[in-house]
Amino acid sequence: MHFPKQLKSWIFPACAAAACIVVWIMVPEKIVPVLRIIKTITLQMAIPLLISLFMMFLLNMYISTASITRLMGKKGGLSGILFSSIAGIVSMGPVFAWFPFLKALKEKGMADVYLANFLSCRAVKPVLFPVLITYFGWRFSLVFITMSLAIAWGTAFIFFLSGKRLE
């Protein structure tokens, strides 16, 4: 079945609404727990997505295409790896909330090397170091962090070698 582009984005919400109506008709006492779950999921998704949209707004207002291309474009070099590593490490929230922001950066000229590095470096979280050390000890924590960074940089290097950086 072929739907116009404007309607495609409404298929899932329409099906979810239809499912709620069916539940309400068939088992009216179950609709309140279903609506609570929908509210919880919506709130969990809305806050990170709103933060991402706000960051995209700031990106478009204050960061030029030239600066993104200079830092994380084809010729970003080691400074681009360092910048994308730090950005990935300090980024908070669920990874899906970053996808619109990263897409906007990619459209402004961010190379795949730095995108892969950013996403891979998200495994390292400084705020979780004390928890990691408490549960698993210093040795494991240092090896884990070192290997996470090495794998992130290795992933970026593979993208570099694959030629994807030239898109």
DSSP letters for 2-44: ---HHHHTTHHHHHHHHHHHHHHHH-GGGHHHHHHHHHHHHHH
- What pLDDT, on the 0 to 100 scale, is given for residue 8? 79
Q: For the whole model, what pTM was predicted?
A: 0.57
- pLDDT tens for the 167 residues of the chain, in order: 676 777 777 888 899 889 888 888 888 888 888 889 888 988 877 776 777 678 767 766 776 656 666 677 667 778 888 888 888 887 777 888 788 888 888 887 788 888 889 899 888 887 778 878 888 999 999 999 999 999 999 988 898 888 744 44
- What pLDDT, on the 0 to 100 scale, is given for residue 144? 92
- What pLDDT, on the 0 to 100 scale, is given for residue 167? 43
- What pLDDT, on the 0 to 100 scale, is given for residue 52? 65
Token pair, residue 16, equals 């979810």
**Domain residue ranges of the chain, discontinuous segments joined by +:** 8-47, 63-166
CA dihedral 38, 41, 45, 50 (to 10 degrees): 50
Helix (H, G, I), strand (E, B) or coil at 49: helix
